[in-house]
């Protein structure tokens, strides 16, 4: 029962065909001898132990061992082999995450916007995207759940969830050390270990240090661009006095001192004539008023209590906070044309209770979730060149936005076995969301504000807004599954997703007043919802398995944040900006996902050569049925679903052979990602054409499991591909803000080769 108790509360553990899920020859042989299909997986996607076949949910999961085999650095790599998923470093940052699943997500990281994709660390929801590009160390698995979530755990999300699950502590003393040495002077060191202090109490921890030179250079300052300088650590203690009680206390912290990430200009300077640089990783960004620094930490207490054979109570209590200081040079030039130093500060407290039931024919969960969070952002927009032109030297538009979230939810989800072949699941979630917001916008001359070491002169207050609003929502879920034989599982499901409304943190109330618009209505945007339909078929055989799903999303009141230049003096030159967040309208998104694995080995093989082929294919067709822009015009014929290619596909061929009292694995992955737009309105220069990445690894593991040596090559063809960018250019090519024209891009990693060495006992 102890093993079962520990797995309660995990949202999804290896609940689909992982694109990297290859077995060693010995493991294949052992399972074949036992008369079971190869790589049979037990999952807890519905808060209880089940075979993979029984789970009517679209989930892809990666074990820590699989990620270690390919030399994975951070969580963004799993998007290469997971259908219809985008995970990227957000624009001019190093550790802020942009996430989309099935065309639903959120790109803007400022306070006031909820995530469309939930990110969890050990079942604790991270309310903000800062410090969320998690490095992979001491990880048990990473799970990607596609579609609305909310009736089984945590915070409600409209697009899906990514769950980062750390390793539990061992009953025996253990220690591991790992060193990565590679291109651009990469040097990573990761240590972890645990120790039982008594039969019922154990402690452990992990410490990681990541360093790397930049892929390019800031030609203005001489500093590395796209470098890495990160410390990360985690400590935990577990108490397990008997089979009915398990308590875990953990603390984690990350510090990122990497240099600011400067963008690559896609057009020459419209005033200076500064040429487009040859190396896309080089920049001329001159903003250096503050140092780049990201710090995040959190503490959590989780406890499981088995009340009797049928009922288990679980509690998850957590507090987290993070702070990011970053100089973002939008124009990527030495002059202060469009320079934005920013400070993000976030804190949150969450409490979740789960009551889990397991009976002969029915299983389910009843839960309560509470979140109290504060997110604040302050940033200057220094329009130095514009100010000089219009006689306002050091023109600066400062924005301070603070959003307080107070939300609670009650949720439940139960599955009843109608017959041995048919089962019905019904769930629902009631959510109460409340937002309180303060938006203060002020215009200065004389340079940066006091928040960034300046002492300018205040010339105008363009917003001084305070407001509160609350929303209530009920989101149901229902699914039916038919399993005629142990090998086949067919299912159909319907679920609703809900994403709370808020207030535009960059809204300019003076614009609303000048146009006779109600200020409260101008600043507020409403929740968005999605009705999600899915049908699927899962098959598992001795050598072949697949997960095939078709989904259809009816997406309404879509929140589209943004900002545009604003001319307040009537001279034709934008001298400030205003937020243009709208509930743009409605979209229809549908697609197909096909993941599979083929084990190319004879059933009788216990030791010897072994081949495995894994694949993932995603097709997404999305369009706006209505898109009302800031001027009240329907431009649905121009708008597209951002950050979501129509096609993605990946294939991983793994070869394993015994060698030198161990196993040698050769792993090759090709990952194709079709063309996609960075924003809702396409831009031919900024948007990314389709591309293919080739990653390869050669890894040797000793027979006793203590030693590992590997060589990992990523992006071996050295593709140049954009992952994000900024656009302040009008359709006619004139600048929307600043004078030089801001159209900058940020790129994925170039070719790198890394050697890894690991020891564990």
pLDDT tens across 475-534, in order? 999 999 999 998 999 999 999 999 999 999 888 888 888 888 899 998 999 999 999 999
Residue 658 bridge partners (DSSP) = 663
Regarding predicted confidence, which is higher, 241 or 629?
Answer: 241
Any idea what the Cα angle at residue 139 is, between residues 133 and 141, rounded to 5°? 95
Half-sphere exposure of 576 (CA within 13 A, CB side): 27
- Whole-structure pTM value: 0.93
Cα separations in angstroms, 671 against 146, 176, 262, 612, 618: 19, 31, 27, 17, 11
434-445: burial string, b at 16+ Cβ within 10 Å, e else: ebbbbbbbbbbb
Residue 53's pLDDT is: 59
Residue 557's pLDDT is: 94
- CA-closest candidate to residue 297, choices 142, 109, 167, 121: 121
User: Is the pLDDT at 721 greater than 70, yes or no?
Assistant: yes
Residue 297's pLDDT is: 97
- CA-closest candidate to residue 540, choices 54, 14, 12, 26: 54
Q: What token pair was written down for 453?
A: 């070491």
pLDDT tens across 320-378, in order? 999 999 999 999 999 999 999 999 999 999 999 999 999 999 999 999 999 999 999 99
Give 760's contacts (C-beta < 8 A, 6+ positions apart): 174, 175, 176, 177, 705, 706
User: Is the pLDDT at 35 greater than 90, yes or no?
Assistant: no
Residue 231 bridge partners (DSSP) = 209, 255
- CA-closest candidate to residue 9, choices 236, 234, 248: 248
pLDDT tens across 424-475, in order? 999 999 999 999 999 999 999 999 999 999 999 999 999 999 999 999 999 9
Could you say which DSSP state residue 452 is in? Answer: G
Is residue 686 within 8 Å of residue 263, measured between CB atoms? no
- CA-closest candidate to residue 168, choices 139, 188, 197: 139
Give 472's contacts (C-beta < 8 A, 6+ positions apart): 430, 431, 432, 433
Is residue 752 within 8 Å of residue 715, measured between CB atoms? yes
- Low-confidence winner among 7-11, 135-139, 157-161 (lowest mean pLDDT): 7-11
Is residue 368 within 8 Å of residue 408, measured between CB atoms? yes
What is the distance between the alpha carbons of residues 328 and 338, in angstroms, rounded to a whole number?
9
How high does pLDDT run on average in the chain? 90
DSSP H or E stretch at residue 65 = helix 64-69
Is residue 436 within 8 Å of residue 386, measured between CB atoms? no
Position 11 confidence tier, pLDDT thresholds 50, 70, 90: very low
Is residue 760 within 8 Å of residue 705, measured between CB atoms? yes
Give 228's contacts (C-beta < 8 A, 6+ positions apart): 94, 186, 210, 211, 212, 258
Q: Which domains does the chain have, with CATH numbers?
A: 2-760 (2.40.170.20)
Residue 561 bridge partners (DSSP) = none
Q: What token pair was written down for 61?
A: 């999961």
pLDDT tens across 268-283, in order? 999 999 999 999 999 9
Q: What token pair was written down for 537?
A: 């078929």
Give 660's contacts (C-beta < 8 A, 6+ positions apart): 700
Could you say which DSSP state residue 91 is in? Answer: T
- Low-confidence winner among 40-54, 121-135, 484-498 (lowest mean pLDDT): 40-54
Cα separations in angstroms, 344 against 108, 221, 233, 442: 13, 25, 22, 18
- CA-closest candidate to residue 425, choices 491, 517, 357: 491
User: Is the pLDDT at 33 greater than 50, yes or no?
Assistant: no
């Amino acid at each position: 029962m102890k093993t079962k108790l520990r797995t309660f509360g995990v949202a999804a553990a290896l609940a689909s065909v992982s694109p990297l899920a290859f077995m060693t020859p010995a493991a294949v042989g052992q399972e074949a001898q036992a008369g079971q299909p190869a790589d049979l997986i037990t999952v807890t996607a519905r808060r209880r132990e089940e075979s993979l076949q029984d789970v009517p949910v679209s989930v892809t999961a990666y074990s820590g061992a699989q990620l270690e085999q390919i030399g994975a650095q951070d969580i963004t790599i799993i998007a290469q082999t997971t259908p219809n998923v985008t995970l990227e470093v957000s624009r001019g940052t190093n550790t802020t995450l942009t996430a989309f699943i099935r065309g639903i997500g959120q790109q803007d990281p400022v306070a006031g916007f909820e995530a469309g994709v939930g990110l969890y660390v050990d079942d604790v929801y991270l309310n903000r995207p800062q410090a969320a590009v998690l490095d992979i160390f001491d990880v048990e698995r990473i799970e990607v759940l596609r579609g609305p979530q909310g009736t089984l755990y945590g915070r409600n999300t409209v697009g899906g969830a990514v769950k980062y699950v750390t390793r539990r502590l061992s009953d025996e003393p253990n220690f591991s050390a790992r060193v990565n040495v590679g291109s651009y002077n990469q040097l990573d060191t990761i240590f972890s270990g645990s120790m039982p202090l008594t039969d019922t109490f154990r402690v452990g921890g992990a410490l990681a240090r990541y360093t790397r030179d930049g892929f390019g250079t800031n030609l203005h300052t001489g500093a590395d661009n796209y470098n890495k300088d990160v410390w990360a650590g985690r400590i935990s203690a577990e108490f397990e006095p008997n089979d009915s009680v398990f308590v875990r206390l953990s603390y984690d912290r990350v510090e990122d001192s990497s240099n600011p990430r400067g963008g690559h200009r896609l057009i020459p300077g419209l005033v200076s004539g500064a040429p487009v640089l040859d190396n896309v990783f080089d920049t001329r960004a001159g903003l250096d008023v503050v140092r780049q620094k990201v710090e995040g930490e959190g503490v959590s207490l989780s406890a499981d209590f088995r009340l009797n054979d049928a009922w288990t109570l679980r509690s998850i209590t957590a507090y987290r906070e993070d702070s990011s200081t970053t100089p973002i040079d939008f124009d990527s030039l030495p002059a202060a044309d469009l320079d934005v130093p920013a400070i993000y500060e976030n804190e949150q407290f969450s409490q979740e209770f789960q009551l889990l039931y397991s009976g002969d024919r029915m299983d389910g969960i009843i839960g309560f979730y509470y979140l109290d969070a504060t997110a604040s952002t302050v940033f200057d927009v220094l329009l130095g060149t514009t100010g000089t032109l219009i006689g306002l030297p050091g023109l600066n538009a400062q924005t301070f936005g603070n959003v307080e979230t107070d939300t609670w939810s009650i949720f439940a989800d139960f599955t009843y076995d109608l017959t041995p072949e048919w089962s019905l699941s019904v769930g629902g979630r009631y959510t109460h969301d409340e937002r309180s917001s303060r938006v203060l916008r002020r215009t200065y001359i004389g340079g940066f504000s006091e928040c960034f070491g300046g002492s300018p002169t205040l010339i105008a207050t363009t917003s001084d807004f305070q407001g509160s609003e609350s929303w209530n929502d009920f989101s149901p879920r229902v699914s039916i599954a038919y399993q005629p034989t142990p090998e086949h599982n067919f299912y159909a499901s319907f679920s609703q997703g809900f994403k709370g409304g808020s207030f535009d943190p960059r809204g300019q109330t003076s614009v609303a007043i000048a146009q006779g618009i109600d200020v409260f209505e101008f600043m507020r945007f409403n929740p968005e919802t999605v009705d999600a339909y899915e049908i699927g078929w899962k098959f598992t055989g001795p050598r072949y398995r697949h997960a095939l799903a078709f989904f259809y999303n009816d997406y309404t009141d879509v929140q589209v944040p943004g900002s545009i230049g604003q001319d307040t003096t009537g001279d034709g030159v934008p001298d400030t900006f205003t937020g243009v967040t709208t509930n743009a309208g409605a979209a229809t998104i549908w697609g197909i996902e096909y993941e599979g694995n083929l084990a190319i080995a004879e059933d009788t093989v216990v030791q010897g050569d072994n081949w495995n082929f894994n694949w993932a294919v995603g097709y997404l067709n999305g369009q706006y049925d209505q898109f009302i822009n800031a001027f009240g015009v329907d431009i649905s014929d121009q708008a597209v679903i951002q950050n979501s290619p129509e096609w993605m596909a990946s294939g991983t061929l793994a070869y394993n052979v015994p060698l030198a009292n161990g196993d040698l694995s050769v792993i090759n992955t090709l990952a194709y990602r079709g063309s996609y737009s960075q924003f809702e309105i396409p831009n031919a220069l900024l948007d990314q054409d389709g591309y293919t990445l080739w990653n390869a690894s050669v890894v040797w593991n000793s027979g006793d499991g203590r030693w590992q040596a590997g060589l990992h090559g990523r992006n071996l063809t050295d593709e140049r591909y954009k992952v994000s960018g900024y656009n302040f250019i009008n359709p006619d090519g004139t600048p929307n803000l600043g004078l030089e024209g801001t159209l900058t891009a940020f790129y994925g990693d170039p070719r790198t080769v890394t050697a890894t060495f690991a020891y564990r006992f």
